[in-house]
Structure 1
Amino acid sequence: MKAIQFKSFGKPDVLEFVDLPTPVPAAGHVLVQVKAASVNPSDVKNVSGHFEHTVAPRVPGRDFSGVVVAGPDEWGGAEVWGTGGDIGFTRDGTHAEFIEIPLAALARKPATLSHAEAASIGVNFVVAWLGTVDYGRVTKGETIAVIGISGGVGGAVAQIAKARGARVIGVAREEPLAGSPAARLIDAFVPLDEHTAARVRELTDGAGADVVYDAVGGVAFETALSLAKRRGRVVEISATGKRRVEFDLIDFYHNETQLFGADSAKLGVADSAPMMQAIAEGFDAGHFEAPVIAARFPLERARDAYEAVAAGTRGRVVIEMA
C-alpha cells in the first residue's frame, strides 16, 4: 500500500511517500480502506517530535473515513469513520491507503457526509464532546462561552452546545470564518482582549457563563476563569503560549469554580468509537454540519497538506486517497 511515513522527527519535509505492506488484520481486528483522512495540528506536532510516546518509523494521522474490506461479515463493505490518540502515535495511523483497527473501534459513518467531510470531524468533535457533554455537562438554557470559537474545536463546541439548547458566546481574536457553522450559530461574539470579561458579564446580566470552554488555554487561562459564574465549569484543552499559569486562588475558591482538563489523546480509537457513534447520530439527525474544508490534497502531496496546517490554514485540510 502507499503511505506517508516519517523515520525521524522534524518539519513536514521529513515525511516520505512510501510503499509498505498492507496490514493483515489480527484476530479481533479489521482492515479499513481509507478514503480520506484529515491533517490536524496534533499530527504536525507529532511529526515534529512533540509527543514523547511516539516511536519512529511511524505512519501519522488520527482521523479517517473509509470502508471495511476485511472483517466480520456484518461489517463487510460498511462505511466507517474514527479517530484515536493511539493511531498515528503508538500504532500506524490513517495517512495510508489502509489501516488495521480493533473491531471495537468501528463506528458507522454518517450517511449525510462524504468521506472527505467525515474525515474532517474526528479529533475536533471528540474533544468538543468530551468537554461539553461529559465534563461541562451543558444543558438546555445554560450559557457557554467558547474561547477559540474561530478554530476547529471551538466550532464543534458551538454545534454541540446549540444542539443541547444552550446559548453560545464566541470569544476569539478574530471572528469565525464566514459561512462556517460557528459563524451562524453563535448568539454573540466577544473579542479576546482586556475587555472580554466585562463584555461577557454584560451579556449574562452580570452573572457570567455557566460553562467556559477554553480551547486556547495558556495565555487565555486567567480570562477563562474570569468568565465563569459562581459554581461555573471551566474546561481546558490546551496551553497556548504559556505552560505554567497563575491565578488568584481566593477568587477561585470564593467563586466555587469547577476546573476540568480534557485530553482526547488519552482516548484510543476503540475508546473514541462510542462518541463517534453518538456524533454520527447527530449528523444524520441534522443537528450538526461539517466544517469548511479549506484544502484537499492527494496522498502523494501529504507534505503540502502538513505545511498548510503548520502555516495556520483556516478551515480543515484533508488528504484524499486515489
Structure 2
Amino acid sequence: MKALQFCATGDLAALRLADLALPVVGADEVLVQVKAAGLNPSDVKNVLGRFPYTTLPRVPGRDFSGVIVDGPQALVGKEVWGTGKELGFYRDGSHAGYLALPIDGVAFKPKSLSFAQAASLGVPYTTAWDALQRSSVGVDTRLLVIGANGAVGRAAIALAKVLGAKVLAAVRRREQAQVLQAQGIEVLVLDNPQTLGEQVNEVFEGGAEVIFDTTGHWLPAAVPALHTFGRIAFIAAPLDGHVHLPALALYRKGGTLVGVNTLLYRCGDCAQMLNQFGQYFDQGLLPAPGGFQEAALVDGLASYNQVNAGTCTKVVLIP
C-alpha cells in the first residue's frame, strides 16, 4: 500500500511516500481501508519532532474515515471514522491506504457525511466537544469562543449551539467577523487584550460563564472577561509554555482553568465522543462541514508544508 512515512524527525523533508505491506490485524482489531484522512497541525509537529514519545519509523495521521475490510464478519463493510492518541505516534496512523486499530477505536460514520467531510472533523470536533463537556456548557450558558475562525473554534460554535448555549465569537480581523455575522453569530473583534473584559461585558453582563481560548494567547486577558465561578478552557500556549496569569483576579472570581488535550484520549475514548455528537449530523442539528481542501496522498509532503506555513484551510488527504 502507499503510505507517508518518516524515519527521522526535525525536518519535513524526512517525510516520504513509501510502499508498505498491508497491516496485519490481531484478534481484537479491524483493518480499515482509508477513504480520507485529515491533516492536523499536530501531525506536522510530530514529523518535526515535537512529541518525544513517537517511535520510528512511523506513518503519521490521527483522523480517518473508511470502510472495514477485515475483522469480525459483522463489521466488514461498515463505514467508520475515528481518531486517537495512538495513531501516528506509537502506532501507524491514517496517512496510508489501510489502517489497523482496535475494534473499539472505530465509530460508525454519520450517513449524511461524505468520507472527506467525516475525516475533516476528528481532532477539531473531539477537542471542542471535550472542552464544552468538561466546562459544563449547556442550555443558556454564556460562552465566549476566542479564535472562532479556526477549525476548533468553528467546531465549538456549532456544537455549543446544539447544546443550547449563548455564543459570542471573537476573531482578530473584521473580514473574519463579517463571515461569522453572515451566519447569524454574534462577534467581537479582538484588539487590545486589556479591553477584552469591557468588550465581553457589553454583551454578557457580568462576563462569560465559559471562555474557550483556542489560541493560547488570550488566557491572561480572559480572566477579567470571566463571570463569577466561570471556567476558562484552553488548548494551546506560547512556544515557551508560559503565561503571566493574573492568579489573584482568577482566585477572587472563583474561576477554574480547564486544559484540553485530545492526545490524552485513546481511539476507544474518541470513538465514544464521535458517537455522542455524530448523531447530530444525521439529525440535521449540525451542519455538514465545508471549506476544506482535498489533496492526493501522493502529494502529502506539499500538504504538510502548506499546513506548516499556517494555512487556515483544513486539508484532507485522499489515498
Task: Answer yes or no: same fold by TM over 0.5.
Answer: yes
Query: Relative to 1, partners in 2 of residues 1:121 and 1:177: Cα closer, same or farther, differing over 3 Å?
Result: farther
Which residue in 1 is equivalent to 2:253?
255
Q: What aligned pairs does 1:279-318 form with structure 2 within 5 A after superposition?
A: 279-318=277-316
- Compute the displacement of 1:186 (Å): 2.4
Query: Relative to 1, partners in 2 of residues 1:269 and 1:286: Cα closer, same or farther, differing over 3 Å?
Result: same
Which residue in 1 is equivalent to 2:264?
266
Q: What aligned pairs does 1:190-205 form with structure 2 within 5 A after superposition?
A: 190-194=189-193, 195-205=195-205
Q: Deviations over 1:213-264 (max 9, x none)?
A: 11111x3110122221000111111103451122232211110001111110
2:149 corresponds to 1:140: no
Which residue in 1 is equivalent to 2:275?
277
Moved more, 247-256 or 142-151: 247-256
Contact 1:128 1:154 in 2 (8 A): yes
Query: Relative to 1, partners in 2 of residues 1:175 and 1:58: Cα closer, same or farther, differing over 3 Å?
Result: farther
- Amino acid paired to 2:285: H
Which residue in 1 is equivalent to 2:92?
92
SS at match of 1:210: strand
Moved more, 169-178 or 244-253: 169-178
Which residue in 1 is equivalent to 2:238?
240
Which residue in 2 is equivalent to 1:123?
123
TM-score, normalization by structure 2: 0.95
SS at match of 1:74: coil
**Aligned-CA RMSD value:** 1.8
- Amino acid paired to 1:244: H
Which residue in 2 is equivalent to 1:38?
38
TM-score, normalization by structure 1: 0.94
Query: Relative to 1, partners in 2 of residues 1:177 and 1:301: Cα closer, same or farther, differing over 3 Å?
Result: farther
CA distance, structure 2, for counterparts of residue 147 and residue 85 of structure 1: 25
- Compute the displacement of 1:285 (Å): 1.1
- Compute the displacement of 1:199 (Å): 0.7
Which residue in 1 is equivalent to 2:211?
212
Contact 1:147 1:224 in 2 (8 A): no
Percent identity, aligned pairs only? 39
Contact 2:171 2:187 in 1 (8 A): no
Which residue in 1 is equivalent to 2:149?
150
SS at match of 1:132: helix
Contact 1:144 1:211 in 2 (8 A): yes
- In the alignment, structure 2 segments of 5+ residues that lack a partner are none
Q: Deviations over 1:102-139 (max 9, x none)?
A: 01112000111111111000000001000102x11111
- Amino acid paired to 1:58: R
Which residue in 1 is equivalent to 2:164?
165
CA distance, structure 1, for counterparts of residue 55 and residue 180 of structure 2: 37
Query: Relative to 1, partners in 2 of residues 1:182 and 1:319: Cα closer, same or farther, differing over 3 Å?
Result: farther
Q: Deviations over 1:258-279 (max 9, x none)?
A: 1111110011111111001112
Query: Relative to 1, partners in 2 of residues 1:110 and 1:27: Cα closer, same or farther, differing over 3 Å?
Result: same
- Amino acid paired to 1:312: G
- In the alignment, structure 1 segments of 5+ residues that lack a partner are none
Contact 1:151 1:176 in 2 (8 A): no
Contact 1:15 1:303 in 2 (8 A): yes
